[in-house]
Amino acid sequence: MKRRLGIGVLVVIGAVGIWFAAGWSDAGRACAHDPRFACSPRPATHPIAISDPRKSWAYYGRLTPGQTDTYTVSTQSAVTVPWQLLIERKDEGNAARPYAIVRNQRGQQIATLDLQSGATQTFFEPFSGTNYLATIARQLTLAPGISTITIGMSNGSAPQRYVMALGKDERFGLEEIPYVFGAIHRVKTRGY
């Protein structure tokens, strides 16, 4: 009986270990299929798809002025969500700053955001222990259909990392916990 219980405990520990390792390694190679890391540059022919803009997302990218990352946002009904651009405070010496242009399904520009002009704030992200310089969060209203967000860099000549934060509903399933730990590790150790 004790032996059977011991084997059962080992099987459970092994299963949890495999679940954790799979999520951890998935975050490390997230560029292949995970929309949280942009794997910049991302042209309009290969955009990052955002199917649930209400969920709280942080998309990490790295661009040189002249390059862009393209995101498509699909909505079934009109939605208004918070939206923000950030760079790490340790990157403030780099003159390049992110900007974003949002276009509706008809290609009409509906919103812009940039870290070059306008009010900024500092933000400390406790999970990764990272300090950011951020735009003031704005409300972005998207009509039903597919909207496009294009992120680019202005000024400077060196590559600059950025984060685009979108949505507010902080929710994730149990299966995503290992991924979150892996993603935090990736941001802290390898950048994005």
Q: Over the stretch 96-127, which tens digit does the pLDDT of each residue have?
A: 999 999 999 999 999 999 988 778 899 887 76
What's the pLDDT band for 168 if we cut at 50, 70, 90?
confident
Residue from 37, 40, 19 nearest 28 by CA: 37
Cα 137 to Cα 19, 43, 105, 113, 157: the distances in Å are 35, 25, 23, 10, 27
pLDDT in the model for residue 177: 60
* Average confidence (pLDDT) over 37-41: 87
Domain boundaries, the chain: 36-170
36-170, CATH topology level: Jelly Rolls (2.60.120)
With a cut of 60, say whether residue 17 has pLDDT above it: no
pLDDT in the model for residue 137: 86
Q: Model-level pTM? A: 0.75
pLDDT in the model for residue 181: 63
pLDDT in the model for residue 77: 95
Cα 54 to Cα 36, 109, 121, 166, 171: the distances in Å are 15, 21, 23, 8, 10
Q: How many helices (H) and strands (E) does the chain have?
A: 2, 11
Exposure string of 101-112, with b = 16+ CB inside 10 Å and e = fewer, is bbebeeeeeebe
Cα 32 to Cα 21, 68, 154: the distances in Å are 17, 18, 27
Highest mean pLDDT: which range of 89-93, 166-170, 187-191: 89-93
* Token pair in block for residue 44: 């309009």
pLDDT in the model for residue 22: 47
* Average confidence (pLDDT) over 126-139: 86
The 8 Å CB, 24+ separation contacts for 91-96 are 91/160, 91/161, 92/133, 94/156, 94/158, 94/160, 95/155, 95/156, 95/158, 96/63, 96/64, 96/65, 96/153, 96/154, 96/155, 96/156, 96/157, 96/158, 96/159, 96/160
Percent of the chain surpassing pLDDT 90: 47
State how far the Cα of 28 lies from the Cα of 180, in Å rounded to an integer: 10
